[in-house]
């Protein structure tokens, strides 16, 4: 039997242990929870619980065959997502990879149309044609989940170029996974972003693994925040299980990108709770260790603890949020269940803006139409 891979330990917030000096690469964590706005904190908590429950139930729906194909969950990345989204502003554009359910919900899209997309239904946010990996919402400047690894990097860079070019407000957020920092498109984008002073933040969700390959195995520079060095791009590492640490770092770098037109790299460390996708058995990781790490690096219990200690929430509140979220996610599932399948005619929709002939002859058309109705 091949050895399973040791999961990389996630450092404590700030990279410090017991008041020691911050680890290399970490920005100092400045927040004091006691001075935070309690309503905002509760909102973050609620959102994190919502994402968690959404993903857990999506996983369940997959086992019930309501969802098929490839479905990647954000379990363990709730603080990373909510912290980031708290820092972004309305005009900002967001590009992500295929592990994006949480991002689009946190950006303000209702869970219903997201779940309906996972179900492949007409009311899905992408009309059911994309599924889990291809969520889009132009009105929210959510520029899509990208199924091709690295596909989003040049596009995000170009979007930042357009912002500069037009003098628009806002920045571009380019989310990638740790493993994505090995593909050419990533490096080509970094160079352009630095060369042309583009307001883009490359946000690495460093969950320790690209599928079954650990960061140490896939990247000759495992300190991913340093990967911009030769492009003169500033990078820093953030504890991705600390929602406020992520928020603060993202805020600071966002403002810098907007005001000073400087790209940045954020290396946001968390722990991937389950396999790469719902159907990945995760056999390549030591399961006892995975289990222990799930408890140790659970961003929700961590934040809950912080809020309890600050006297902002109590048992009753935790229960209230649990119930509320349960109802909301169930409503999303019901919405998805009730939504009809996409119409066959929609197959040919949205290929071009103009009328482009796509069928050779009437005979050909007849055959295709017969096929769309399941054969003669």
Partner 1 sequence: MPELTLLEAIRQGLDEAMAADARVFVFGEDVGRRGGVFRVTEGLLDKYGPLRVIDSPLAESVIVGACIGAAMNDARPIAEIQFADFIYPAFNQIISEAARIRYRSNDDWHVPLVIRAPYGGGIHGALYHSQSIEALFCHVPGLKVVAPATPYDAKALLKASLADPDPVLFLEHKKCYRLIKGQVPDGDYQVEIGKADIKRQGSDLTVLTYGLMLHYSLEAAEVLAGEDIDVEVVDLRTLRPLDTATILASVRKTSKLLIVHEDNLTGGLGGELAAIVAQEAFEQLDAPIMRVCGPDVPAMPYAKPLEEAFLPSPATIADAMRVLAAY
Which of 160-168, 204-212, 285-293, 354-362 is the region at the interface with ligand TPP (rule: CB under 6 A)? 204-212
**Which of ligand TPP, partner 1, none is residue 207 near (CB under 5 to 8 Å by kind)?**
ligand TPP
**Which of ligand TPP, partner 1, none is residue 99 near (CB under 5 to 8 Å by kind)?**
ligand TPP
Which of 19-27, 45-53, 172-180, 248-256 is the region at the interface with ligand TPP (rule: CB under 6 A)? 172-180
Q: Which is nearer to ligand TPP, 13 or 180 (CB)?
A: 180
**Which of ligand TPP, partner 1, none is residue 208 near (CB under 5 to 8 Å by kind)?**
none
**How far apart are CB 124 and partner 1 at their closest, in Å?**
8
Per CB under 8 A, residues contacting partner 1 are 1-5, 68-70, 120-121, 128-134, 147-150, 179-180, 182-185, 210-213, 217-219, 283-284, 341-342, 344, 346-348, 351, 358, 367-368, 370-372, 374-376
Kindly state whether residue 268 participates in binding ligand TPP, applying the rule CB under 6 A.
Answer: no
Q: Indicate which single residue of 162, 195, 211, 372 sits in contact with ligand TPP (rule: CB under 6 A).
A: 211
Count of residues of this chain found to bind ligand TPP when the rule CB under 6 A is applied: 17
Q: Are 179 and 213 in contact (CB under 8 A)?
A: yes
Q: Indicate which single residue of 207, 270, 293, 339 sits in contact with ligand TPP (rule: CB under 6 A).
A: 207
Which of 135-143, 206-214, 334-342, 364-372 is the region at the interface with ligand TPP (rule: CB under 6 A)? 206-214
Q: Which is nearer to ligand TPP, 180 or 306 (CB)?
A: 180
**Which of ligand TPP, partner 1, none is residue 66 near (CB under 5 to 8 Å by kind)?**
none
Kindly state whether residue 149 participates in binding ligand TPP, applying the rule CB under 6 A.
Answer: yes
Which of 141-149, 163-171, 337-345, 361-369 is the region at the interface with ligand TPP (rule: CB under 6 A)? 141-149
Binding mask 77-116 for ligand TPP (x = CB under 6 A): --------------------x-x-----------------
**Which of partner 1, ligand TPP, none is residue 108 near (CB under 5 to 8 Å by kind)?**
none
The 3-state secondary structure of 154-209 reads HHHHHHHHHHHHHCCCCCEEEEEEHHHHHCHHHHHHHHHHHHCCCCEEEEEEECCE
Q: Are 110 and 123 in contact (CB under 8 A)?
A: no
Catalog residues that contact ligand TPP under the rule CB under 6 A: 72, 97, 99, 147-150, 177-180, 205, 207, 209-211, 276
């Amino acid at each position: 039997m091949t050895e399973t891979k040791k999961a990389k330990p996630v450092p404590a917030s700030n990279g410090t242990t017991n008041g020691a000096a911050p680890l290399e690469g970490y920005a100092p964590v400045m927040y004091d929870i006691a001075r935070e706005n309690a309503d905002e904190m509760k909102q973050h908590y609620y959102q994190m619980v919502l994402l968690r429950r959404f993903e857990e139930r999506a996983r369940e729906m997959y086992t019930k065959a309501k969802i098929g194909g490839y479905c990647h969950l954000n379990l363990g990345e709730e603080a990373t997502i909510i912290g980031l989204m708290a820092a972004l502003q309305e005009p900002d554009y967001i590009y992500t990879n295929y592990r994006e359910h949480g991002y689009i919900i946190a950006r303000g899209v209702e869970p219903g149309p997201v779940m309906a997309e996972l179900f492949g239904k007409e009311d899905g946010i992408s009309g059911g044609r994309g599924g889990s990996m291809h969520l889009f919402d132009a009105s929210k400047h959510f520029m899509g989940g990208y199924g091709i690894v690295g596909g989003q990097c040049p596009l995000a860079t170009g979007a930042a170029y357009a912002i500069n070019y037009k003098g628009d407000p806002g920045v571009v957020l380019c989310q990638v996974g740790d493993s994505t920092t090995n593909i050419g498109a990533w490096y080509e984008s970094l160079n352009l972003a630095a060369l042309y002073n583009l307001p883009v933040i490359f946000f690495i969700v460093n969950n320790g693994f690209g599928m079954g390959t650990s960061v140490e195995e896939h990247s000759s520079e495992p300190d991913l925040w340093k990967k911009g060095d030769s492009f003169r791009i500033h990078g820093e590492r953030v504890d991705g299980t600390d929602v406020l640490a992520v928020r603060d770092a993202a805020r600071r770098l966002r403002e810098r990108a907007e005001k000073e037109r400087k790209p940045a790299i954020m290396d946001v460390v968390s722990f991937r709770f389950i396999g790469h996708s719902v159907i990945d058995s995760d056999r390549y990781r030591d399961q006892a260790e995975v289990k222990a790490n799930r408890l140790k690096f659970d961003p929700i219990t961590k934040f809950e603890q912080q809020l309890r200690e600050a006297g902002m929430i109590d048992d009753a509140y935790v229960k209230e949020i649990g119930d509320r979220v349960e109802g909301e996610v169930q409503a999303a599932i019901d919405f998805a269940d009730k939504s009809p399948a996409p119409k066959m005619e929609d197959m040919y929709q949205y290929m071009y803006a103009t009328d482009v002939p796509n069928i050779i002859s009437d005979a050909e058309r007849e055959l295709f139409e017969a096929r769309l109705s399941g054969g003669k």
